[in-house]
Amino acid sequence: MQAPVTVEFIVDAEASEQIKDLGLKWIKPYGEHISIKDEIDETLLESLSNEELVEFIGINSEYLIYLNIKG
């Protein structure tokens, strides 16, 4: 198994209720966007699209603005 990689998900602030319900820790809001950091296994990063990755952590992909891999 490969090591987890930190991934930053920038999502629309409209996802805030979903984030709260999931118990995800958001880092800080950027105006209308929210930053969430999570550890994702490198194998998943290689096999899933950005939309699939955000849904993997429980957020609807329609809210995804940007994904930043902190390798």
Residue 71 above 90 pLDDT?
no
Q: What is the pLDDT of residue 1?
A: 58
Alpha helices, DSSP H only, in 2-64? 16-22, 42-47, 50-56
DSSP 68: E
pTM of this prediction? 0.85
Both tokens assigned to 13:
């602030």
CA pair distance 43, 4, nearest whole angstrom: 9
CB 7 within 8 A of CB 55: no
pLDDT recorded at residue 22:
92
pLDDT in tens, 16-66: 889 999 998 887 777 789 999 999 999 989 999 999 999 999 999 999 999
